[in-house]
A and B are shown apart, each in its own frame.
Chain A
Amino acid sequence: MSPSTDPDRPDPDAATLAPPRDGRPVSDRGDTVCVIGAGASGLTAVKNLREHGFGVDCYERETGVGGAWNWRHDRSPVYASTHLISSPPFTQFPDFPMPDDWPDYPHHSQLLSYFERYADHFDLRQHVWFGTEVVRVEPVAGDRWDVTTRSTGGYGPERTSRYAAVVVANGHNWSPKLPRYEGLEEFRGEIMHASSYKDPAQLRGKRVLVVGAGNTGCDIAVEAAQQASHCWHSTRRGYWYAPKYVLGRPTDQVNDRLLALRVPLRIRQWLYHWTLRLTVGDLTRFGLPKPDHRVYETHPIANSQLVYYVGHGEIAPVPDVARFHAKAVELTDGRRIEPDLVVFATGYLPRFEFLDPRILGDADGSGRPRLWLNAFAPGHPTLAVAGLVQSDSGIFTLSHWQTVLFARLLALRITRPDRAAAFAKRAAAGVGERYAGKVKDSSRHWFEVGHADYLRAVQRAMYDLEEK
């Protein structure tokens, strides 16, 4: 099948060519919007832009939808036992409910089937170019964008199309973040990043050190407790391990009940500490370090089993790693342990290799974009990033509203340019705003948002855009 037979697809040989760029033809796609990535955030961008009347070309480097949540994808971080840590009301797209007979914490394969059904239900696949990766995204005059693509893996020629707007939805959980440790290169045992952890069989019978107390690190530590011959769990600090259920309900639902009643943060923190006291009690008794912060000040960890296995002696909590030796790992308290396998569950960093970092406000090259609402880049009114949030609940609800806001903004650029201009001014002024209470300063919390604070800000932006 040749794409050039399809009138709805960009075609470099078409007559509607914009002035060539570096000698290569550019096909002008008119008012069409380009979406990069067909994961959760990309799909909802396609759906919401279509719903607001825009043509959409979505480029996806893989051959299926679902992005990170599609375990077949080589960049997918999911492992066999990955389950959601937020319950459906906080996870689903607000206009496409998950089946109500699903469990409170669905499995990743259920989530993938949800995204596939979303794509089929709204007929989104016809707008997606699978197996196509984006090489460059460059701004051109008139707030338009030249997007250069090629087949995934670098085969075939590059082609450039010009779009009215771009939504970047390439995900932020695929490029592993590996801290530097002295002596790591001389360590003779096996090391892996959590991104290549897929199955508990990888742990079976081994002496395993898991580094990192994110949700992934805690999951792997629990699996190591069940499968490995020994499990150490190294954390930088003490954390609050939230059980997945409190007071007989999923924890996030109880939390939002308090938020809906506008219970102040201090009281919620107190209630939380009190609930924990009623169940697991003082964690330092198990050898876990005392948290150096109050609850809600770091990204929440939802794991009922970690503390359970610590209490059964199946997980040995240890402090941070100081350095590696050939056969041993030295900890910051001077102890030496001898694991066969070290799993670094140390997280991921965002990467936008197709985009000049300055466009996203990353002037110092730290890799940290500076955006308003984690989505809008000052000076680039036709660019939005979707899903670049670390939420204390699900991300997809947030991506949905980000892309609805962007679609409405694009529509108003045509009918009410004055309002779009006011929005741009607001975006420039709002860079650096935070949508969470005080959090620990760490690259883990670059994109940390409280879902209620964040959605309130998006709602206000939407009302400001459309009223007055």
Chain B
Amino acid sequence: MSGGGERVRVLRGREWARPVRPARREVLSVLPELEQGRPPLLFVPGFGHGAWAFAEHWLEHAAGRGFPAYALSLRGHGGSEPAPEATLRAYTHDVTQVAAGLPRQAVLVGHGAGALVVRHALARYPARAAVLVAPVLGEWGTLGAALRRNPGGTLPALVGGGLRLSRRQLFSRELPDAEARRYAARIGRAGRRAQWQLLTHRDPEPAVGHPPVLVLGSPDDRVVPPAALTRAARRHGGAPLLFPGMGHDLMLDARWREPIDAILDWLEKEHTPA
């Protein structure tokens, strides 16, 4: 079984008594021209990002290789309904809602803090597989790195303001400056409470349905330190796939094609019957 120290919880009285409020959610999709029996992919953006971040390159590319590709915006992000008081649980709810609404059992791909949301969602939805891209799993080490590299953007978050990531944290220098500026301008902010829960949240319950998990990232990511990548991968019984020279936003950076191809190759291998 992958991840999580806790045991599966059958009794969920508190969850049942207070269901998450519904919210209007933005879901973008690109579907292959021919249905090829491949599992749908659901991309979950990290804090501040919306479905647009995947619509730039990855959705099109995945569909081109035969995978129905979907991306959602967590509440309060992108084109979804504003939700300043959103919690990690509400984000998790958004993911399981969209995943269960897809025609077939989906692969969840989470980026940044979206990877943490995916890990929580795995306990409530039996994904076919999961991919954690540059996962921000809410460790103190990540906070330390963020404080060192971007004190101006991180400190306000600690006192209730928004977490701001700088252009240089997110992208490599290979990405033309104009594009980097354009992307950075689109980045919003996550709910205040959800931001705090990055540090205070409880470890996710174990994943249901034993999904295989792939972790990938960049050793030059200025948000997630390499040690955190290794730890995340080890938790799921593997080693991270590394893409040197890329920034945190692997799906927007200049060499966006390499990581998505690696993900799709892995999925093709996972789902070819041995």
| Docked complex Cα distance between A94 and B124 (Å) | 7
- Render B123-164 as a binary contact track against A, CB cut-off 8 A, 1 for contact: 011100000000000000000000000000000000000000
CB contacts (< 8 Å) of B7 on chain A: these are: 463, 467
Q: Number of A-B pairs whose CB atoms are under 8 Å?
A: 80
For residue B20, CB closer than 8 A to chain A, the reply is yes
CB proximity of B119 to chain A, nearest CB, Å: 15
B12 within 8 A of A: yes
Docked Cα-Cα span, A97 to B101, in Å, equals 9
Interface majority SS on B: helix, strand, loop or mixed? Answer: loop
Against B, the Cβ 8 Å flags (1 = close, 0 = not) of A254-266 are: 1011011000000
Per-position binary interface string of chain B over residues 1-40, scored 1 when its CB falls under 8 Å from any chain A CB and 0 otherwise: 0000001111111111111111000000000000000000
B103 and A121 contacting across the interface, CB-CB below 8 Å: yes
Q: How far is the CB of A452 from chain B (nearest CB, A)?
A: 6
Q: Which residues of B contact A463 (CB under 8 A)?
A: 7
Judging by beta carbons under 8 Å apart, are B96 and A97 in contact? yes
Instruction: With A51-B126, A95-B125, A259-B13 as known contacts, state yes or no: A100 contacts B105, CB within 8 Å.
Output: no
Residues on B with C-beta less than 8 A from A456 are 10-11
Does B93 count as interface, using CB distance less than 8 angstroms?
yes
A100 adjacent to B97 (CB under 8 Å): yes
**Smallest CB gap from A90: residue in B:** B16
Interface string of A269-310 (1 = CB under 8 A from B): 000000000000000000000000000000000000000000
A443 at the interface (CB under 8 A from B): no
**Any chain B CB within 8 A of the CB of A455?**
yes
Residues of A near B101 (CB, < 8 A) are 99
Q: What's the tally of chain B residues with a CB closer than 8 Å to chain A?
A: 31
Q: Does B245 contact A (CB under 8 A)?
A: no
- Do B124 and A121 have beta carbons less than 8 Å apart? no
- Chain B residues closer than 8 Å to A121, beta-carbon distance: 100, 102-105
**Is there a chain B Cβ closer than 8 Å to A135's Cβ?**
no
Per-residue CB proximity of B187-217 to A under 8 Å, as 1/0? 0000000000000000000001110000000
Q: When the two chains form their complex, are residues B100 and A462 in contact, meaning their CB atoms are under 8 A apart?
A: no
Interface residues of A (CB under 8 A from B): 51, 87-90, 94-97, 99-101, 120-123, 252-254, 256-257, 259-260, 401, 452, 455-456, 458-459, 462-463, 467
Which residues of B are in contact with A by a Cβ distance under 8 Å?
A: 7-22, 93, 96-97, 100-105, 124-126, 208-210
12 interchain pairs, CB-CB under 8 A? A97-B100, A99-B101, A100-B97, A123-B104, A253-B18, A256-B13, A260-B14, A455-B11, A459-B9, A459-B11, A462-B10, A463-B7
